[in-house]
Amino acid sequence: MLVPRVDINTLVSGRGDHHAAAAAIDAACRDTGFFSIVGHAVDPGLRGRLDALAREFFALDDSEKAEIAMAHGGRAWRGWFPLGGELTSGIPDRKEGIYFGAELDAGDPRVRAGIALHGPNLFPRRPAALRGVVLEYLETMTRLGHAVMRGVALALGLPPDWFAHELTADPTILFRIFSYPPASSDDEDEWGVREHTDYGLLTIVGQDDLGGLQVRSTLGWIDVPPDADAFVCNIGDMLERMTGGRYRSTPHRVRNTSESTRLSFPFFFDPGWDAEVRAVPEIAEGARNEDAQARWDRANVHELTGTYGEYLLSKVSKVFPALTSEL
């Protein structure tokens, strides 16, 4: 069983018949909740520069990387964390990484108001070029997120710009670069990231050539092979909630079994901070809500209340408990 491959050229260009892409997205979201995309028009040179600069950063001593440690990011929730510094289900992950988000200066009203997860990014002294490449990548992937969500809207029988009008006029964007060290043992319980689902609408992941991403399907866990030409997309808890379970937020996990360092580049394209994500009656009607006890975290996304920002903060406090006092 393979994760389906979808050509989204028409969604990106805005030209041609979107039916085939929308139908393929719909089938994937009803089945595994994962699909890979080609025809995305993202410059492979940008991806190559990002990979090279990220490897240069992670090769530095921890003492230098710690100059942009997340503790220095405060309420903006940005910066570097060391190996084991992030938790999944209360257990340290076997990875290190850097957190980025929308670049906001001190004069932005949301920053002045002290709203959590809003603010400037932290960039390292070396490699200095990482700043410009990350900012270009954020802009590029935000455009791509809007294009993919046009396909999701059409797949659901909604107008193509439904999400842009209702949930993502000002999307919450978050970007991570994760570094998974080479396999250290044959311990079956050692995971780069344990089983989890993503919080928002859409995750777009760039993988290197090593693989390691696994998705839980009806047939068990399946591998998502790396593909230099594609991005891997998966849907999150908010799309499951919006569709009443018609589309599922699929559990996934990562294990680096190679003898080399693995990098991944997940970009999260999510509802606006103040958006209230509710089930859409004409879509959710008749959908089967998953029993909370069957989920990895025993949570029921269909009972959520409040804004997306509130939901995201509740999750952050579990992933980085040391930062809870800042948030």
Complete DSSP assignment for 189-221: T--SEEEE--SSSEEEEEE-SS--EEEEETTEE
**Can the peptide bond before residue 127 be classed as cis, meaning omega within 30 degrees of 0?**
yes
In tens digits, the chain (327 residues) has pLDDT values of 578 999 999 999 999 999 999 999 999 999 989 999 999 999 999 999 999 999 999 999 999 999 999 999 988 989 999 988 887 777 888 899 999 999 999 899 999 998 989 999 999 999 999 999 999 999 999 999 999 999 999 999 999 999 999 999 999 999 999 999 998 766 566 787 888 899 999 999 999 998 899 999 888 898 999 898 999 999 999 999 999 989 989 998 998 888 899 999 999 999 999 999 998 877 876 555 555 445 555 567 777 788 999 989 888 777 666 655 555
CA nearest neighbour of 264 among 273, 251, 255, 272 = 255
- Is residue 194 within 8 A of residue 253, CB to CB? The reply is yes
- In angstroms, the Cα distances linking 230 to 4, 97, 108, 128, 199 are 11, 22, 35, 27, 22
d(CA 88, CA 189): 13
User: For residue 218, what are the contacts with CB-CB under 8 A and spacing of at least 6?
Assistant: none
pLDDT tens for 285-320 read 655 555 544 555 556 777 778 899 998 988 877 766
Specify the CATH number of the domain 21-326: 2.60.120.330
CA nearest neighbour of 310 among 207, 199, 214 = 199
CA nearest neighbour of 147 among 160, 129, 135 = 160
d(CA 153, CA 29): 12
d(CA 213, CA 231): 12
CA 13 to chain centre: 23
d(CA 270, CA 8): 19
Enter the pTM of the model. 0.93
- Strands in the chain per DSSP E: 5-7, 34-38, 79-81, 87-88, 91-92, 96-101, 172-180, 193-196, 202-207, 213-217, 220-223, 231-235, 252-254, 262-270
d(CA 201, CA 78): 21
d(CA 259, CA 201): 33
pLDDT of residue 7: 98
